[in-house]
Structure 1
Amino acid sequence: MLNRLPADERRAQLVESALTIAERSGVASVTVRAVAEEAGVSLGVVHYCFESKDELLAAMGEALIRQLSESMSASFSQVRHASELRGVTGLRELLHIGLSGMWPIIEATPDRQLLTYEITAQALRHRAVGAGRAGAIADEQYRIMDEEAVAFLDECAAIAGIEWNMPVADIARSGLAMIDGLVLRWLVDRDAEAIVAALDDLARSISDKAIPKES
């Protein structure tokens, strides 16, 4: 007999089953029947939890955003253990700690990283045809990433005792754009050594936008 889970837990189970299918075979392979089989439930259970495939895709995107936010926050929080690093030189080290802290998570989850790009592209297609919730996923993804990056840069600045010479939101945006490109390139060539060098370059580039805080 099927275990009767609370509605939120059942939805979460179905979303994770859908993500597993999408990681394995792509977003196009996510169907109500496939999700039901992966989760070990009836078609009716999936239809009860999600009125349409678009609603399920939106929920998948939202789950990926939460996971992304949690992993970024965990990686960036490592700088709190390096409070002795001061000045622009210390800032570069702090930035490297946070940026390089992200990489093991990315390297361990290549299929989920690829799926994140696929979900983003799918959301942009939905937005182009006026879809509401599903179309907003890409905007929400980058809004959350921007918030995490700004918080990280602000924390690094506070620890190092520096100020930014341009709006921190602009620095975060350009830094995230570079990370996006690095992850996509790594998914193609899996050149880990090139990533280490690129992250160091990114830390140096961002630290160049800092000045000592006036007393």
Structure 2
Amino acid sequence: MVFGKIDYINLLPFHVFLKKSSLPSAFKRSCEHQKNVPAVINHKLRKRKVDAAFISSIESKRKNITPLNVGIVAQKNVKSVIIKEGVSKKDPASATSNMLARVLGLKGEVFIGDRALKLYLQDPDAYIDLGQTWNNKYHLPFVFARFCVNQHQRFYKKLSKKFVQQPIKIPNYILSKYARERGILEKDIKEYLKLISYTIARKEQKALFIFLKKAHQLQ
């Protein structure tokens, strides 16, 4: 079994969950070997080079992929998916966020992930938070990614269900490591993770339906 890993802070709780789990060490090592940005992981899942991953919501509608009710969700603001108004420029690492900017009628340069979080924290007034803008317009959370599977569905369904059922505490040494590597203060990482949830329930399903419908109209 091969899981595609996106090494962003918003999935840090999931990576800690995997690290602490009793899963085979070979499986845990395979996650590190398949580590990449969302756009590449999307492609790998589509080509069946990995059998499960958190992938862009816009990609989760593909017929040969089974989406689960687990994902990366922002209830309101998100800080790590932002746009700087001006000349349009997509973030090559993302598919959903680029489309979200279009759905919201915003033009500018899109930034996602840890780089975006760092930029936003340095100068929040210079950027528009796409999660907050979506919530202002639709009064719904936004689902940026979904846990999707193309093989070993029973295993991954059990794994993802277990993840959302238990609170995950990030060890201090891991927080410190990410803070050093990403140039983001530990306290800011903790505050940021409070904005992220992982269960796709009724409101999240409704938001996803609206987004995918509007995205389809633009394609």
State the TM bucket, normalised to the shorter chain. Answer: under 0.3
- TM-score normalised by length of structure 1: 0.24
* Greater share of helix: 1
Indicate the structure whose relative CO is greater, using CA pairs within 8 Å and at least 6 residues apart. 2
| Structure showing greater Rg | 1
- TM-score normalised by length of structure 2: 0.23
* Greater share of strand: 2
